[in-house]
Amino acid sequence: MANRASALDTMPVSPLAQQTRGCLSVVAGATLVFLYLPIVFLVLFSIEPADTPGFPITGITLHWYEKMLADSAIHSALFNSVVVAVVVALIATTIGTMAAFPLVRGGIRFPGAARILFTLPIMIPGVLIGLGLLVFITLLGIKLGLHTVIAGHLVFTTPFVVLIVAARLQGFDRRLEWAAADLGASNRQTLRHIVLPLIAPAIIAGALLSVTLSIDEFVVTFFTIGPQLTLPLYIITQIKFGVTPEVNALATVILVVTLTVFGVGSVLLGTGRRFRRKDAA
């Protein structure tokens, strides 16, 4: 990249280039502020003592966090969310990883159609997925509950796992497998000892992503849940009663947890990249 920069310096540039660059940096800075300001305020209002969050900030308290921790409605909502997320992650990661292999390496009859099928749930608004499932469930006469939420979450988390694992498989150096086969390993042994360990970071990242997507999902859950509550649904019922600092405290905790999981996931994906076939890029 050093080359490109120095080439730029010596080339004729518009007399306005300097000003353009200045303007752009202001726009970029403002954009970042725009991205983070709401989150900053969200967190700020969770440590504000007043009953209705807002300015001016009158002090710092952890009262709302204590209240949140003691709230049994939050406990059961959290429990439901975690149960759903774990089951969804396990199933989505398993079937998503499996599906990624034939998608990348061939063997299915209509690869184009398969690819479309696995990207559609990412592109289609959650309202359609949710309502579709709801009418289907109603027609079958199945009772709504956490199991139907799990079904709904599987639809949009599995494609993410497929995409992530497929991206890693795409860059996978197949000569490693051929070497293993040359040395007498069976297909199963190659998969177990060569392929899976090397794409493990992508699989784990996919699982973590499924967890965060599932825990945060509101729209599909909204359509497919029975009498129970998950965290986002609990939050929306609270917001409808009026903005409470307890929700801000809960939101802050969810943000921190999501970011941690996300951070672990991206570090893993970064590690995964090291095993990519260099000359294939």
Partner 1 sequence: MTADTASAADVAPLAGPRPGLRRRLERAAPFLPGLAMLTLLFVIPMFIMLAFSFWKTNSSFDLVRDWNLNNYARFFNQPTYIRTFAKTLVMASAVTAAGLAISLPFTYFLVRYVSRRFQRAVLLAVIVPFWTSYLLRVYAWQAILGEKGALNQFLMATGIIQQPSTLFVYNDLAVFVVLIYVYFPFAALALYAALEKFDFTQLNAAQDLGARPDQAFRHILLPQIRTGIITACIFVFIPILGEFLTPTLVGGASGSLIANLIVNFTRQGQFPEGAALAIVIAVFVTILLVVFRRSLRVEDVVARG
Minimum distance from residue 117 beta carbon to partner 1 (Å): 6
Residue 148: name the closest of 129, 124, 121 by CA. 129
* Phi and psi at residue 242, to the nearest 5°: 125, 155
Report d(CA 94, CA 194) in Å as an integer: 18
Closest CB to partner 1 among residues 76, 238: 238
Closest CB to partner 1 among residues 11, 70: 11
Residue 155: name the closest of 107, 213, 216 by CA. 213
Closest CB to partner 1 among residues 79, 262: 262
Residue 226: name the closest of 150, 115, 128 by CA. 150
Minimum distance from residue 50 beta carbon to partner 1 (Å): 9
Closest CB to partner 1 among residues 37, 62: 37
- Cβ atoms of 65 and 249 within 8 Å: the answer is yes
Per-residue tokens: 44: 């700020």
Minimum distance from residue 59 beta carbon to partner 1 (Å): 16
Closest CB to partner 1 among residues 228, 251: 251
Which residue pairs from 172-176 have beta carbons closer than 8 angstroms and sit at least 24 positions apart in sequence?
172/198, 172/199, 172/275, 172/276, 172/277, 173/275, 173/276, 173/277, 173/280, 175/277
Minimum distance from residue 248 beta carbon to partner 1 (Å): 8
Per-residue tokens: 146: 């956490």
Closest CB to partner 1 among residues 71, 132: 132
Amino acid letter for position 196: L
Minimum distance from residue 71 beta carbon to partner 1 (Å): 17
DSSP string, 33-88: HHHHHHHHHHHHGGG--SSS--SSP-----HHHHHHHH-HHHHHHHHHHHHHHHHH
Minimum distance from residue 66 beta carbon to partner 1 (Å): 20
Minimum distance from residue 192 beta carbon to partner 1 (Å): 14
Per-residue tokens: 127: 């309202």
- Cβ atoms of 155 and 126 within 8 Å: the answer is no
Closest CB to partner 1 among residues 149, 228: 149
Minimum distance from residue 37 beta carbon to partner 1 (Å): 7
Closest CB to partner 1 among residues 91, 228: 91
Report d(CA 133, CA 83) in Å as an integer: 20
